[in-house]
Chain A
Amino acid sequence: MNFDFSEEQLQLRDQARRFLTEHSTSKRIRQVLDGVAPYDRAMWQEIAAMGWLGAAVPEEYGGAGLGHVGLCVLAEELGRSLAPVPFSSSVYLATEALLVAGSEAQKEELLPKLAAGELIGTLAWAEGVGNPAPERIKARVSGGRLTGAKWPVPDGGVADIAIVAARDEADRTVLVLARLGGAGVHPETLSTVDPTREQVKLSFEGVSVEVLPGDGWASLQQVLERAAVLTAFEQVGLAQACLDMAVAFAMERHAFGRPIGSFQAIKHKLADVYVATELARSNAYYGAWALTAGAAELPLAAASARVSASEAAWLAAKENIQTHGGIGFTWEMDCHLYYRRAKLLGLTLGSAPWWKDRVVTALEIRNAA
């Protein structure tokens, strides 16, 4: 039985943790929060220089070829540290979309640049309220030109390219590659619950795009499944960070003549956060295995990882504030940064009801087989 990170992966984790502890500080996160910049460019460049962006990209496309488990290791640390960079959009979404559905030419051109951080990418699937569904996709591609409005698009203002879900002339769902920044693309920054991760409305007016080969809806689901596993590791890292914060505070803070961590009301709450986090971690590990092995279980493993991790991150973030009491609700304390991010991560790939339905659908398919 070998169901855990390897020695090399644990070393990678330690390196990542050291770097992010030093660089992804509250001060630097708050510069993005306060609107000084849409993301931390210096951190982004260092992360690119360390090769993290191409961790799971095969070496033939300019990546490090560490495999998806290596990327999962990094994702957990990025989640723990709330790193204010467009990593998830560029790596879990755009890079994975190209790996899943890109043409050979698109992969050869774009993957090395994404891996090097020369380009930032994102995925634009949503068009307002609702979870992913083919009938909600109204953006149209006609004669190689894209028209429609996608929102919210994570990092849509800083991205150079976007993989966009749209309908073609035959009313089929397709994924298309749009180069942003040119004429006909109108980005509008949205106000969001977590300003450390930019959300944008992207309006396209007859923008020239390339259609990715294959069934767009099937590809989109695959991309969301892969991103769900990777995001689950971010959520597990975030949950653990919240639990660590809450435990540290509960040991220090005295009330009624004793540390509040000696009250069972606090102990049992934090024990429940621990249980949820460990269940989420184990579900995420299974997702990492399925993703790396290219296993047929991926749809079930990914949906389970997402449901479990969204629950754990939300529980840990809200109970962290609760454990802190009034001080935890101040702007100066970092509790609200985790609270905001936890909710964002639980929504960004579609919310829990949609993924729960996918868990049961996957169980039904498995049992029918």
Chain B
Amino acid sequence: MDFEDTPEEAAFRTEVKAFLAANAEPKKRGAPPSRSRNVGPEELARAKKYQGAKAAAGLAGLTWQKQWGGREAPPIFQVIFNQEEEAYSIPRGVFEIGLGMCIPTMMAYATQEQLHRHVSPALRGEEVWCQLFSEPAGGSDVAAVRTRAEKNGDTWTINGQKIWTSGAQFSDFGIMVTRSNPDVPKHMGLTFFFLDMKSPGIEIRPIKQASGASHFNEVFFTDVKIPDSQRLGAVGQGWRVALTTLMNERLAIGDVPRPDVEDLLDLTRIVELDGEPAVRNVAVREKIADMHVRNQGLKYTRFRTMTALSRGQTPGPESSIGKLVNAAKLQEIASFGMDLLGSAGVVMDKELAPMNALFQEALLGAPASRIAGGTDEILRNIIAERVLGLPGDIRVDKDIPFNRLPTGKR
């Protein structure tokens, strides 16, 4: 039992380090993290340039087939790349969805001609993709899609609304799941497409979140035309295609969200409680230990996942716990840090709030991490059903046509 790379892994790590040193800015120690995922024109240009450099160096699409510009490397190489990237300030939030979910779905369902047209520009960072699944009436219940697709000759007409679409405002293409037949049960009447996001009839509006920031969009479709050639999978088989997309969620070795345990330790040294640094207080020490233990448990769970990949095995189910643990931990650290400040915990002025209001900002943003990409509740269902093998919930909507389901008022 050790943490050593195999010789091949070590050689690859050296290659990645050299690439990053030449093409990215190291993270500054102690600097507050950039919390804005609002990608402006400059950030978009920076992200595209970085992606282009990665592709030119043969470091994009590592696990993809060589014919699509990939390297046919084992998945552990992607993990090593992500690990090394963590030390750098990398422009994020532009290509993850397209390369992690959209293009792999295209590879499973699109024609060779379509792949020749789309894969390479996406890999080189020239074209951005987004994913249009969630709707106002279908969040955790992803298949409850209402956006209508109606066929006329060789053309489909789309009407409806998608929501929580990251990056829609700067995307060139998107993949979407639609309701093509509302007269059959929920999962059976869906059809899947890819489309040009500049098509007439698409309107994109940013959502103002509870935190005040805007990271997501609503996308409205009014008589948007999609040629039948851009259908992925058979008519009525859209749910199967959507599952392919969801299975392709990338091997997230994502940054540990801030404030982390080290930030909490820093805060407890600055702030006094009963005339001494808060870190001397027994209750504070217990909380720090609880958070550290969860943090370290996740870190070494990732190493177990990497080990499985390194040995050419499929990672065990332990890789499914990361987001569930991290999201709750973030919210708890943020809230506890503010508790240490007494009534001044409410103040967000960066000159007054310790550590540039890191804890306050995180508190306001934290609810999103417990919802986006699978709510805590859905993740617990997934663990219970797929890992522990417990039976699925009884589904009252199973054999009822979609348009006869009760909808409620919200």
Contact = CB atoms under 8 A, between A and B. Distances in A.
Interface of A: 1-6, 69, 243, 247, 250-251, 258-259, 261-264, 266-268, 270-272, 274-275, 278-283, 285-286, 288-289, 292-293, 303-304, 307-308, 311, 353, 355-357, 359-360, 363-364, 367
Contact of B391 (A4, A261, A288, A304): A261
A282 B298 contact: yes
Interface stretch (B45-53, B108-116, B300-308, B344-352): B300-308
A101 to B, nearest CB: 26
B388 A3 contact: no
Interface centre among B300, B306, B309 (most CB of A within 10 A): B300
7 contacts: A267-B384, A268-B380, A268-B384, A357-B282, A357-B285, A359-B289, A363-B288
B394 A289 contact: no
Contacts of A285: 1, 300, 304
Interface stretch (B29-37, B125-133, B193-201, B318-326): B318-326
Contacts of A267: 380-381, 384-385, 388, 390
A130 B377 CA distance: 40
Interface in B83-103: none
Contacts of B324: 275
Main secondary structure of the interface of A (DSSP, over half): helix
A-B pairs with the 7 shortest C-beta distances?
Answer: A279-B297, A267-B384, A356-B289, A282-B300, A359-B289, A271-B380, A271-B383
A275 B300 contact: no
A243 B298 CA distance: 20
Contacts of B310: 1-2
Contacts of A271: 379-381, 383-384, 387-388
Interface residues of B, number: 53
Interface string B284-300: 01101110111011111
Given A262-B391, A264-B381, A267-B390, A1 B293 contact: no
A243 B383 CA distance: 13
A292 B293 contact: no
Contacts of B279: 360, 364
B1 A251 contact: no
B292 A2 contact: no
B393 interface: yes
Interface centre among B262, B297, B381, B394 (most CB of A within 10 A): B297
Contacts of B301: 278-279, 282
Interface centre among A5, A262, A293 (most CB of B within 10 A): A262
A206 B248 CA distance: 71
B321 A275 contact: yes
